[in-house]
Each structure stands twice: as C-alpha cells, then as structure tokens.
C-alpha cells in the first residue's frame, strides 16, 4: 500500500477501498457505497473516518450486505481501525 498523505475525503475513501479489496478480493466485491467521510481532530491524533456499505458476492447467485466504519491515518493513508 502506498504511504501518501490523505488530503481530502476522496483519498480517504480510496484507502478504505484498497483495504476492502485486500480483505475480500476485487472479484468478490459487487458494490461499495460510501455514505459519510469526515475529518476528526483528537487530543492525541487526527483521523479520517469513512463509513458506508459493501455488497459482496457469495456463491453463484447470493450476495451479502455489510456496513463498515474505518479510521484512516492522514499521514500514512493506512487503515488504523475498522468495524465491519
């Protein structure tokens, strides 16, 4: 994964998309819908928070829907916490 600074919401969503593709595989993901992306400042560190839904193929005709929340480090563009 490239380590570039996350400057905007689109870059934070790209980091989350790369993480989801590494977890489920590009061929298994049918759709990723980002619902909210925001920048949070904290006492110890600042983060980008990305929230949305993913649709994953299961078998020939099945599919599974999951909601996810990621925290992306703005300095390295790595996902540092997630809830899926």
Q: Contact at 8 Å (CB) between 77 and 50?
A: no
What is the model's pLDDT at position 47? 94
Two tokens at 53?
Answer: 């839904």
Domain spans of the chain, in order of start: 9-83
pLDDT score at 2: 54
pLDDT tens-place values along the chain, 84 residues long = 456 888 899 999 999 999 999 999 999 999 999 999 999 998 888 999 999 999 999 988 999 999 999 999 999 999 998 887
CA separation for the pair 56, 27 (Å, rounded)? 9
> Distance (Å, rounded) from C-alpha 18 to C-alpha 26?
9
């Amino acid at each position: 994964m490239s380590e570039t600074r996350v400057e905007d919401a689109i870059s934070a969503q790209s980091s989350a998309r790369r993480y989801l593709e590494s977890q489920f595989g590009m061929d298994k993901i049918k759709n990723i819908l980002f619902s909210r992306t925001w920048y949070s400042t904290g006492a110890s560190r600042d983060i980008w928070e990305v929230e949305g839904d993913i649709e994953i193929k299961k078998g020939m005709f099945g599919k599974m829907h999951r909601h996810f929340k990621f925290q992306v480090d703005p300095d390295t563009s790595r996902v540092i916490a997630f809830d899926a």
